[in-house]
Amino acid sequence: MRHCIYPGTFDPITYGHLDVLSRAAKLFDRVTVAVAESAGKAPLFTPAERLQMIAPNVANLPHVSVTTFSGLLVEFCMAQQADAIIRGLRALSDFEFEFNMALMNRHLEPELETLFVMPNEQFSYTSSTLVKQVAAYGGDVRHFVPPNVAEALTAAFRKGKLC
């Protein structure tokens, strides 16, 4: 059983993230989407809300589960007995951050590999921040996020939340 962890803040999950996930699901027997608390990023949604938004979008993939975590990613991965971390590389600009993170995680846990997949190029400019900005000003984000996420964004900004 090969098990990988797909970590992220997912504030909120986008079709780009789901594209990475579908690729990981083809490669591994088990995939755990791990929603990081990421308090430092001041997320719009709580970890529980982010998990709730992801769950219906992975329901068609029986070997994919979603959970939240806090603390060090490598510790979570070891506790889950995972073989690898999977991350997406949208463009060259992602590389430096991802490279440093992969090397730091390898320093902390040499046995744990990080693998990268490239999402479809149509998602190369998608980011959670941009999606939130567009939604905050009433723009249509349905091209970038699943319907339940678009609804959650509309509801959040109707309540006056700031992104």
Q: Which residues does the annotation mark as catalytic?
A: 17, 41, 90, 128
> Would you say 20 or 25 has its CB closer to ligand COA?
20
Q: CA torsion angle for 101, 23, 144, 69 (degrees, to 10)? A: -50
Which residues within the stretch 32-71 sit at the binding site for ligand COA (CB under 6 A)? Answer: 36, 38
Q: Give yes or no for a contact between 75 and 42, defined as CB atoms under 8 angstroms apart.
A: no
DSSP three-state, residue 6: strand
DSSP three-state, residue 113: strand
**115, 127, 54, 57: which is closest to 88 by C-alpha?**
115
> Would you say 17 or 30 has its CB closer to ligand COA?
17
Q: Give yes or no for a contact between 84 and 114, defined as CB atoms under 8 angstroms apart.
A: yes
Q: Please identify, among the stretches 50-58, 59-67, 123-131, 149-157, the one whose residues bind ligand COA according to the rule CB under 6 A.
A: 123-131
Phi, psi for residue 132 in degrees, rounded to 5: -65, -40
Instruction: Report which residue's Cβ sits closest to ligand COA.
Output: 16
> Would you say 20 or 112 has its CB closer to ligand COA?
20
Q: Please identify, among the stretches 59-67, 97-105, 133-141, 147-155, the one whose residues bind ligand COA according to the rule CB under 6 A.
A: 97-105
User: Residue from 32, 83, 88, 153 that binds ligand COA (CB under 6 A)?
Assistant: 88
Q: Amino acid letter at 127?
A: S
Q: Give helix 15-27 / helix 47-58 axis angle, nearest 10°.
A: 60
Which residues within the stretch 126-155 sit at the binding site for ligand COA (CB under 6 A)? Answer: 126-129
Give contact residues for ligand COA (rule: CB under 6 A).
7-11, 14, 16-17, 20, 36, 38, 72-73, 88, 90, 101, 104-105, 119, 123, 126-129
